[in-house]
Structure 1
Amino acid sequence: MTAIESSGPFRELHLAFARILAARHAPGMLIDMLVGQAFDLFEDNIGVQTQDLPPLACQKGCPSCCILRVTATAPEIFLLADYVQRIDATPQGAALALPRRIAHAHRATGGLAEAERMALRKPCPFIIHGVCIVHPVRPLACRGHASFDRRACARAAAGRDVEVPVSEPHLNLRGLIQNALQSALRSAGLSWGLHEMNHGLVLALDGHGRRGRWLEGGDSLGPIVAEFDATSAAERFDQLLAN
Structure 2
Amino acid sequence: MSPFKENYGAESPPLNEALAAMVRANVRAILARGRTPEQALELAGSALAWADHLIERFEAENPLPRPIVCQAGCYYCCHNQVELTPPEALLLGHYVEQHFPEVEKAGLKAKIAESLKIKAGKNKAEMARIRQELPCPLLREARCSVYPVRPLICRAMHSLEAGDCEQALRREDLSASAYYSHRYEIIRSISQGLKDGCASLGCQAGALDLVAALDNSFREPRPLERWIQGEEVFSL
Contact 1:155 1:162 in 2 (8 A): no
Contact 1:69 1:196 in 2 (8 A): yes
Aligned partner (choices 160, 180, 188) of residue 148 of structure 1? 160
Are 1:44 and 2:53 counterparts? yes
Q: Relative contact order: is structure 1 or structure 2 higher (C-alpha 8 Å, sep ≥ 6)?
A: 2
Are 1:165 and 2:208 counterparts? no
Which sections of structure 1, spanning at least 5 residues, go unmatched? 224-243
Equivalent residue number for residue 122 of structure 2 = 112
**Partner amino acid, structure 2, of 1:32:** L
Are 1:17 and 2:27 counterparts? yes
Contact 1:118 1:157 in 2 (8 A): no
User: What is the deviation of 1:207?
Assistant: 4.0
Which sections of structure 2, spanning at least 5 residues, go unmatched? 1-11
Change in Cα spacing, 1:182 to 1:2, as seen in structure 2 (3 Å) is: farther
Aligned partner (choices 91, 97, 102) of residue 85 of structure 1? 97
Equivalent residue number for residue 127 of structure 1 = 139
**Partner amino acid, structure 2, of 1:10:** A
User: What is the deviation of 1:45?
Assistant: 0.8
Equivalent residue number for residue 235 of structure 1 = none
Are 1:203 and 2:216 counterparts? yes
Change in Cα spacing, 1:111 to 1:148, as seen in structure 2 (3 Å) is: farther
State the number of aligned residues. Answer: 219
TM-score under structure 1 length normalisation: 0.82
Change in Cα spacing, 1:11 to 1:115, as seen in structure 2 (3 Å) is: closer
Change in Cα spacing, 1:64 to 1:48, as seen in structure 2 (3 Å) is: same
Aligned partner (choices 2, 11, 15) of residue 4 of structure 1? 15
User: What is the deviation of 1:132?
Assistant: 0.8
What RMSD in Å do the two structures reach over aligned CA positions? 2.0
**Partner amino acid, structure 1, of 2:143:** V
TM-score under structure 2 length normalisation: 0.84
Please give the alpha-carbon distance, in whole angstroms, between the structure 1 residues aligned to 2:152 and 2:120.
20
Please give the alpha-carbon distance, in whole angstroms, between the structure 2 residues aligned to 1:76 and 1:111.
25
Equivalent residue number for residue 98 of structure 1 = 108
Q: 1:170-199 deviations in whole A, cap 9, x for unaligned?
A: 111100111111111111111111110100
State the 4+ residue runs in structure 1 displaced beyond 6 angstroms.
none
**Partner amino acid, structure 1, of 2:63:** D
Percent identical pairs in the alignment equals 24
Equivalent residue number for residue 9 of structure 2 = none
User: What is the deviation of 1:209?
Assistant: 3.2
Partner secondary structure for residue 97 of structure 1: helix
Please give the alpha-carbon distance, in whole angstroms, between the structure 2 residues aligned to 1:101 and 1:107.
10
Partner secondary structure for residue 80 of structure 2: coil
